[in-house]
């Protein structure tokens, strides 16, 4: 066999393969599943997440908190001359009549600073300084700049007070003694002469409130305010009350109040007064002014008898429409009393009737009227509910529609509306009645923000 013949024989053994991709049913199904998984993954990443909240039993804490306005008997003292001002009495201290408060017109050195005083502190004064530093460290934050200046001024007052008897004459040219006993305050805010009859809502706007710290002024002119004296230990707290709280506190003569500044609790006389634009609570106090002499606004909490139940966030509450259906027109499911069977009749445009049977969720039952609440979305105006075993009909209309408050229960992985009966509420939380078969139970999981959820929506 020649070489040419062998080559032809070998060529006949070569099999050429088709490089085209063979699309079979398995490949198509795998591709569809892959695309579906990608879509689900993208939707999961981009959809708005539903945050769950676990229902707990309890009561509202701080549901009656207010920023109360404090009015006191205050006497503002002005400088009689111009000059450098030096303060000796510590702010908030209780001074007796004739006690040295400050001086105006003291000597200054060449740099314009007040002349220095050589002094030493007693053990009692050192203890006072340590107490001030400890209080500052515990109560002041990194951005509380005003407290730094107050601390500095208080320390200066302690040092100067320790040298008054021996060295005051060397640097004081004009001194100011208290005309009566009282608490010393080194700030003014324009509320010093406010009367109860002048109260209005604008006074409680803390953003517009301005207080002038007099100790920041190193020198004063004649007629400038230099200090203030609170001359009576009887003082008053005022806060606005709405109609709900006014009705609740009607007839209350004494009330317990907690000061959030130091968590101290007092029981004091209470009354409700009428102001220019509404009603205000008035608390009369006859002690503890030494702790609050400098404060114009105080954050307080009224300690009232608080309802207990299931505690849920206000953001979880949503309102929905339901139809009220008499119990004799439904058949309760044997597997769950929260489900009922309905037989409805509707009329087509040509006048012919159409009957259907379906299962509906029950969101509440009113034992007084013996009726069930069924979601309005499964029925419409003009439908009829047929009483089982009879030809009696119950018409669905706006007259039997009712708006109900509730939450979305997500225990089963999808959103189910559950009615709640609110018995107490504040800005953040509310207390609902736990004795509701169609409502919530402790440790149920609900959607924290009801606005992000729809009925029957699957919760990832």
Helix (H, G, I), strand (E, B) or coil at 97: coil
The pLDDT of residue 283 is above 60: yes
Could you count the other beta carbons within 10 Å of the beta carbon of residue 336? 11
C-alpha closest to that of 261 among 297, 286, 232, 234: 297
CA distance 296 to 71: 7
Q: How confident is the model at residue 168 (pLDDT cuts 50, 70, 90)?
A: very low
Chain centroid to Cα 214, Å, comes to 34
Q: Are 183 and 94 in contact (CB under 8 A)?
A: yes
Per-residue pLDDT at 149: 58
Residue located via tokens 């309005």: 376
Q: Which has the higher per-residue pLDDT, 15 or 256?
A: 256
C-alpha closest to that of 402 among 371, 426, 428: 371
The pLDDT of residue 260 is above 60: yes
The pLDDT of residue 172 is above 60: no
As a whole number, mean pLDDT of residues 221-240 equals: 95
The pLDDT of residue 19 is above 90: no
Instruction: Return mean pLDDT, the chain.
Output: 80
Per-residue pLDDT at 120: 55
Q: Are 289 and 185 in contact (CB under 8 A)?
A: no
| Per-residue pLDDT tens digits for 92-149 | 889 999 888 888 875 444 444 444 444 455 656 566 666 666 665 655 656 555 566 5
Strand 83-87: give its sheet, edge to edge: 175-177, 100-104, 83-87, 219-220
DSSP 88: -
| Per-residue pLDDT tens digits for 370-383 | 888 888 888 888 88
């Amino acid at each position: 066999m020649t070489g040419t013949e062998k080559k032809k024989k070998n060529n006949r053994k070569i099999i050429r393969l088709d490089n085209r991709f063979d699309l079979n049913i398995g490949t198509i199904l795998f591709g569809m599943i892959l695309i579906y998984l990608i879509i689900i993954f993208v939707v999961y990443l981009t959809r708005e997440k539903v945050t769950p909240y676990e229902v707990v039993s309890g009561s509202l804490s701080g549901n009656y908190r207010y920023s109360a306005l404090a009015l006191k008997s205050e006497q503002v003292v002005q400088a009689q001359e111009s000059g450098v001002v030096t303060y000796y009495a510590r702010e908030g201290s209780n001074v007796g009549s004739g006690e040295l408060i400050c001086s105006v017109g003291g000597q200054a050195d060449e740099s314009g600073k007040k002349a220095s005083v050589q002094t030493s502190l007693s053990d009692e004064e050192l203890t006072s300084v340590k107490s001030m530093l400890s209080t500052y460290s515990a109560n002041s934050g990194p951005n509380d700049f005003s407290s730094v200046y107050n601390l500095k001024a208080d320390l200066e007052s302690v040092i100067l007070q320790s040298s008054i008897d021996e060295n005051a004459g060397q640097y004081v040219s004009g001194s100011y003694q208290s005309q009566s006993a009282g608490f010393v305050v080194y700030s003014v805010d324009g509320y010093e002469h406010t009367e109860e009859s002048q109260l209005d809502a604008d006074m409680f706007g803390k953003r517009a409130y301005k207080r002038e710290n007099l100790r920041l002024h190193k020198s004063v002119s004649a007629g400038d305010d230099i200090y203030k004296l609170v001359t009576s230990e009887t003082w008053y707290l005022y806060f606005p009350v709405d109609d709900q709280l006014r009705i609740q506190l009607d007839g209350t003569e004494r009330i317990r109040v907690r000061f959030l500044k130091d968590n101290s609790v007092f029981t004091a006389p209470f009354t409700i007064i009428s102001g220019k634009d509404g009603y205000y609570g008035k608390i009369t106090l006859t002690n503890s002014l030494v702790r609050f002499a400098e404060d114009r606004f105080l954050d307080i909490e009224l300690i009232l008898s608080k309802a207990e139940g299931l505690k849920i966030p206000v953001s979880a509450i949503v309102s929905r429409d339901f139809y009220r259906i008499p119990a004799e027109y439904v058949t309760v499911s044997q597997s769950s009393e929260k489900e009922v069977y309905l037989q409805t009749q509707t009329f087509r445009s040509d006048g012919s009737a159409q009957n259907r049977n379906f299962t509906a969720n029950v969101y509440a039952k009113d034992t007084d009227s013996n009726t069930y609440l069924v979601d309005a979305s499964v029925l419409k105006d003009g439908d009829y509910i047929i009483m089982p075993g009879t030809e009696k009909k119950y018409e669905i209309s706006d007259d039997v529609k009712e708006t109900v408050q509730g939450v979305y229960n997500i225990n089963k992985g999808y959103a189910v509306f559950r009615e709640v009966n609110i018995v107490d509420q504040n800005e953040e939380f509310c207390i609902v009645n736990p004795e509701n078969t169609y409502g919530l139970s402790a440790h149920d999981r609900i959607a924290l923000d009801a606005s992000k959820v729809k009925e029957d929506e699957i919760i990832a």
